[in-house]
Amino acid sequence: MDDALIKKAFDESGVVSDLPCPKAFEISEKYGIPKLEIARYCNKHKIKIRKCQLGCFG
């Protein structure tokens, strides 16, 4: 997956240092980015995933 597409999606969505899980699902659907790729990007760029719908992230 192209990091530039995820960065663009995050920039347009106002994501900077944390990402609520429901917002990650919304971005995934809107931009056609797999949720796993969003998670990888967040890990790589030190963006915290919050309010996890599955209880995986704090």
Per-position DSSP letters for the chain, written without gaps between them: --HHHHHHHHHHHT-SSEEEHHHHHHHHHHHT--HHHHHHHHHHTTPEEES-SSS---
The pLDDT value recorded for residue 54 is 66
Q: What would the two tokens of residue 51 be?
A: 């309010």
pLDDT at 57 over 80: no
Q: Which residue has the tokens 């915290």?
A: 48
Read off the pLDDT of residues 6-49 as tens digits, 9 standing for 90 and up. 999 999 999 999 999 999 999 999 999 999 999 999 999 999 99
pLDDT at 55 over 70: no
